[in-house]
Amino acid sequence: MSIYRKSGFKKDGNTILQEVASKSQLKEGKDAVRGVLREIYRFGTIGTKSLARKLFLPIPTVAAIRKELEKIGFIERLKKGAILTELGVDFVNLELQINYFQNLLCKECDGTTIELPDDADSIIPKLRDFTDLRPTPQTEIDQAFGKPITALCRALLMLQNDDLEGREVLLLGDDDFTSLAIALLGTLTKITVIDIDKRLLDVISQIAKENNFDIVCIHADLRKPISNKLVGKFDTVLTDPPYTISGLKLFLSRCLQALKPELGRKVYLAYAHRAPNDLLDVQKVIQEHGLVIQQMLPGFNLYEGAEMHGNTTFIAKLLTTDLSKAQIIDEFYEKIYTGEFSPTLRIYKCSKNHEIQIGKNEKIKTIEELKEMGCPVCGSKDKFLRIKREKI
Amino acid sequence: MSIYRKSGFKKDGNTILQEVASKSQLKEGKDAVRGVLREIYRFGTIGTKSLARKLFLPIPTVAAIRKELEKIGFIERLKKGAILTELGVDFVNLELQINYFQNLLCKECDGTTIELPDDADSIIPKLRDFTDLRPTPQTEIDQAFGKPITALCRALLMLQNDDLEGREVLLLGDDDFTSLAIALLGTLTKITVIDIDKRLLDVISQIAKENNFDIVCIHADLRKPISNKLVGKFDTVLTDPPYTISGLKLFLSRCLQALKPELGRKVYLAYAHRAPNDLLDVQKVIQEHGLVIQQMLPGFNLYEGAEMHGNTTFIAKLLTTDLSKAQIIDEFYEKIYTGEFSPTLRIYKCSKNHEIQIGKNEKIKTIEELKEMGCPVCGSKDKFLRIKREKI
**Same domain, residue pair B127 and B217:** yes
Q: What mean pLDDT is predicted for residues B258-287? A: 96
Distance from CA of B177 to the nearest CA of A (A): 21
Q: Nearest-CA residue of chain B relative to A313?
A: B294
Determine whether the interchain pair B99/A165 forms a contact, defined as Cβ–Cβ distance below 8 Å: yes
- Given a contact cutoff of 8 angstroms between Cβ atoms, the answer to whether B190 and B236 are in contact is no
List pLDDT tens digits, range B25-55.
Answer: 899 999 999 999 999 999 888 888 899 999 9
Q: CA B266, CA B106: separation in Å to the nearest integer?
A: 26
Answer yes or no: is pLDDT of A344 > 80: no
When pLDDT is cut at 50, 70 and 90, the band that residue A59 belongs to is confident
Residue of A97, A279, A293 lying closest to B283 (CB–CB)? A293
Percent of chain A residues past pLDDT 70, beyond the cut: 97
Of A269-273, A388-392, B140-144, B257-261, the least confident: A388-392
Q: Nearest-CA residue of chain A relative to B272?
A: A294
Residue B108 lies in a domain: no
Determine whether the interchain pair A113/B109 forms a contact, defined as Cβ–Cβ distance below 8 Å: yes
**Same domain, residue pair B224 and B291:** yes
Answer yes or no: is pLDDT of A271 > 70: yes
Q: What mean pLDDT is predicted for residues A8-14? A: 88
Residue B204 lies in a domain: yes
When pLDDT is cut at 50, 70 and 90, the band that residue A364 belongs to is confident
CATH number of the domain that residue A162 is part of: 3.40.50.150
When pLDDT is cut at 50, 70 and 90, the band that residue B307 belongs to is low
Q: What mean pLDDT is predicted for residues B347-362? A: 82
Percent of chain B residues past pLDDT 90, beyond the cut: 67
Q: Which of A95, A112, A137 is the last residue of a domain?
A: A95
**Same domain, residue pair B158 and B91:** no
- Given a contact cutoff of 8 angstroms between Cβ atoms, the answer to whether B180 and B201 are in contact is no
Answer yes or no: is pLDDT of B351 > 90: no
Three-state secondary structure call for residue A216: strand
Determine whether the interchain pair B159/A187 forms a contact, defined as Cβ–Cβ distance below 8 Å: no
* Residue A268: per-residue pLDDT: 98
Q: CA B66, CA B48: separation in Å to the nearest integer?
A: 8
* Residue B392: per-residue pLDDT: 67
Answer yes or no: is pLDDT of B316 > 90: yes
The parent domain of residue B177 ranges over 120-320
Answer yes or no: is pLDDT of B16 > 90: yes
**Same domain, residue pair A300 and A165:** yes
**Same domain, residue pair B208 and B131:** yes
List pLDDT tens digits, range A297-337.
Answer: 999 999 986 666 778 999 999 999 999 977 667 777 778 88
**Same domain, residue pair A45 and A179:** no
CATH number of the domain that residue B82 is part of: 1.10.10.10
- Given a contact cutoff of 8 angstroms between Cβ atoms, the answer to whether B341 and B185 are in contact is no
Answer yes or no: is pLDDT of B2 > 90: no
Determine whether the interchain pair B106/A96 forms a contact, defined as Cβ–Cβ distance below 8 Å: no
Which residues of chain A have a CB within 8 Å of the CB of B112?
106
Q: What is the pTM of this model?
A: 0.90
Which residues of chain B have a CB within 8 Å of the CB of A102?
117-118
Those residues whose C-beta lies under 8 Å from the C-beta of residue B181, and which sit 6 or more positions away, are: B123, B127, B148, B151, B152, B154, B155
Residue A337 lies in a domain: no
When pLDDT is cut at 50, 70 and 90, the band that residue B305 belongs to is low
**Same domain, residue pair A165 and A84:** no
Determine whether the interchain pair B293/A297 forms a contact, defined as Cβ–Cβ distance below 8 Å: no
Residue A125 lies in a domain: yes
Mutate to test the interface with B, among A294, A315, A324 (most CBs of B within 10 A): A294
Question: Residue A208 to residues A128, A145, A179, A181: CA-CA distances in angstroms?
Answer: 15, 19, 10, 11
When pLDDT is cut at 50, 70 and 90, the band that residue A381 belongs to is confident
Determine whether the interchain pair A292/B276 forms a contact, defined as Cβ–Cβ distance below 8 Å: yes
List pLDDT tens digits, range B229-239.
Answer: 999 999 999 99
Average pLDDT, rounded, for chain A = 91
* Residue B302: per-residue pLDDT: 94
Q: Nearest-CA residue of chain A relative to B26?
A: A263
Determine whether the interchain pair A165/B323 forms a contact, defined as Cβ–Cβ distance below 8 Å: no
Q: CA B311, CA B145: separation in Å to the nearest integer?
A: 10
Name residue A379's amino acid. G
Q: Report which of residues B18 and A4 the model is more confident about.
A: B18
ipTM of the complex: 0.89
Average pLDDT, rounded, for chain B = 91
- Given a contact cutoff of 8 angstroms between Cβ atoms, the answer to whether A248 and A271 are in contact is yes
Of A222-226, B68-72, B282-286, B383-387, the least confident: B383-387
Residue A231 lies in a domain: yes
B186-210: b (≥16 Cβ within 10 Å) or e: ebbbbbbbbbbbeebbebbeebbee
B83 beta partners: B76
* Residue A307: per-residue pLDDT: 66
**Same domain, residue pair B291 and B353:** no
Of A220-229, B198-207, B265-274, the least confident: A220-229
Which residues of chain A have a CB within 8 Å of the CB of B159?
100, 104
* Residue A103: per-residue pLDDT: 93
**Most confidently predicted of A134-138, B19-23, B314-318:** B314-318
Which residues of chain B have a CB within 8 Å of the CB of A322?
276-277
* Residue B135: per-residue pLDDT: 85
When pLDDT is cut at 50, 70 and 90, the band that residue B75 belongs to is very high
Residue B326 lies in a domain: no
**Same domain, residue pair A84 and A149:** no
Q: Nearest-CA residue of chain A relative to B14?
A: A166
Residue B179 lies in a domain: yes
Residue B156 lies in a domain: yes
- Given a contact cutoff of 8 angstroms between Cβ atoms, the answer to whether B58 and B310 are in contact is yes
Total domains in chain A come to 3
**Same domain, residue pair B192 and B89:** no
**Same domain, residue pair A295 and A373:** no
**Same domain, residue pair B195 and B295:** yes
* Residue A306: per-residue pLDDT: 63
Mutate to test the interface with A, among B16, B100, B233 (most CBs of A within 10 A): B100
